[in-house]
Amino acid sequence: MVSIQGVSLAADQLCAVVGADAGSAPRVWRTALEPRAPGDEAWPSLAAAFAALLNEAPAPAAGVSVALMPALAEVQMVELPPMAEHELRLLLARNAGKYFTSARGAQVVGAGARSTSVMGRLVAATSAPLLHSIHAAASTAGLSVRQVVPAPAAWAMFARTGNAKSNGGEARASMVVVDQAHCTVLTVEQGQLVSLRRFRSLALDAARLAEAMLADTTSVFLAAAPDARREAEALMRVQPATGVLAALGSQPDALAAVGASRATAPLLITERERAAGTARVRSLAVRFAAAAAILLVAGAALQLWDVRRELSAVRAERAALAPQLGSTLVGRTTVETAFRQLAVLARAEQDAPIWSAVIAELSTQLPSESYLTGFRGRADTVGIDGLARSAARVFESVERVPSLQAVQASAPVRRETTPEGEALERFQLSALMRAREARGATTARRQP
């Protein structure tokens, strides 16, 4: 789409380039302007020129960039100590008459990029009422101004782009602009305008210009009328022009109009526009902060909802598992109780004496004519009842049983006669199991 690519403004003329980046040949549109009344922000002639320009081609959505020709904006190299950008602007605005020869009244200033290879810093200044007039005229015509730059900053952009295309992007390049009254040499370093030198016409300062360009080994690009181009090419080695520079290289004002949208510094911004920009940034920051706060609250609410949903799911699962868990716990309690009872029984069984071994020993030691009628065991005490022809011999035999000790009669010996007429003695004895035997008996029971 063919649209306005940029505007350059002189005191008596407006120059615009239409369609330079749309694939078609650039078309230059010019109109004369009535002089602006000194100190008056209204410039009816400029408003009418902007309105006529909009009839020729639509403006881009981002607005139109304006380049101020040298008669309206002054660019100088000044040496200043390092300071913040706002401090630099304040210093230059308050002392504009000291740094700028054409400064009259309130000034709007801008600073270029710092350079490590060039002493000083490039600064620009223009009349504050003039900038207000440009913005007011554009607004009256229904046009927005994207940015305002001095013409040298716009010209220097062609040295940057031309150098990148022809020499692989060298760090340093020069742009020489020759008009009817002056010859301007601009130096671009790392894509930024860092120095400016102004000479008189080629006829007057040819020797100085040749000496300056001979000492500068950078790539040189030229914008000049055909006659001036031939003279300049005889003094310096010029890079071949291509693209827009080749099409508009003989018209410095048209070249400045195209380069206005590409320039980055120095920019000429009124305090009114700067405050409006700051307000827009602050408003945008507030909107972003509000959006962030809303998103934070929404995120917290969603997180809380998710936690509650998960908690409800866990509670439902616990409720579903409660009956199974209850039965499991009851079964576990029952099993633990059974295990405890078994352990008690096992300990009781392990601690109980082995009475069969004691009975076997008694059977071995007792006389053959005697026999047992009763055997009692409780803890480590043994009770023995029986009949024998001689209770004394039984007593002696029991004392010889290895696992018994402290054998004594627990009741008097009584004589009885059997139905066959045999006379026998009834005895009752008691004894204690030896501790060693009791331990051995317990250990033997524990072995498989």
Residue 71 to residue 229: CA distance in whole angstroms:
23
- In the prediction, which pLDDT does 353 show? 64
Q: Which domain holds residue 414?
A: 355-442
Q: Is the domain of 52 the same as that of 185?
A: yes
Q: Which CATH number does the domain housing residue 366 bear?
A: 3.30.1360
Domain end point (choices 269, 295, 324)? 269
Q: Which CATH number does the domain housing residue 200 bear?
A: 3.30.420.380
Q: Is the torsion defined by CA of 316, 317, 319, 320 positive or negative?
A: positive
Would residue 331 count as lying in a domain?
no
Among 382, 378, 362, smallest CA distance to 370 is for 362
- In the prediction, which pLDDT does 441 show? 45
Q: Is the domain of 98 the same as that of 231?
A: yes
User: Count of domains in the chain?
Assistant: 2
- In the prediction, which pLDDT does 96 show? 85
Q: What share of the chain in percent tops pLDDT 70?
A: 90
Mean pLDDT of the region 224-232: 83
Tokens of 370: 């005697």
Among 177, 142, 161, 159, smallest CA distance to 69 is for 177
Q: Is the domain of 383 the same as that of 236?
A: no
- In the prediction, which pLDDT does 116 show? 65
> Helix/strand/coil (H, E, C) string of 321-345?
HHHHHHHHHHHHHHHHHHHHHHHHH
Residue 372 to residue 385: CA distance in whole angstroms:
6
Would residue 291 count as lying in a domain?
no
Domain end point (choices 247, 269, 291)? 269
Compute how many other C-beta atoms are within 10 angstroms of the C-beta atom of residue 426. 16
Domain end point (choices 227, 244, 269)? 269
Q: Is the domain of 252 the same as that of 381?
A: no
- In the prediction, which pLDDT does 98 show? 87
- In the prediction, which pLDDT does 438 show? 46
Q: Where are the beta strands (DSSP E) in 190-254?
A: 192-199, 219-223
Q: Is the domain of 371 the same as that of 248?
A: no
Would residue 68 count as lying in a domain?
yes
- pLDDT tens digits along 124-150: 999 999 999 999 999 999 999 999 999
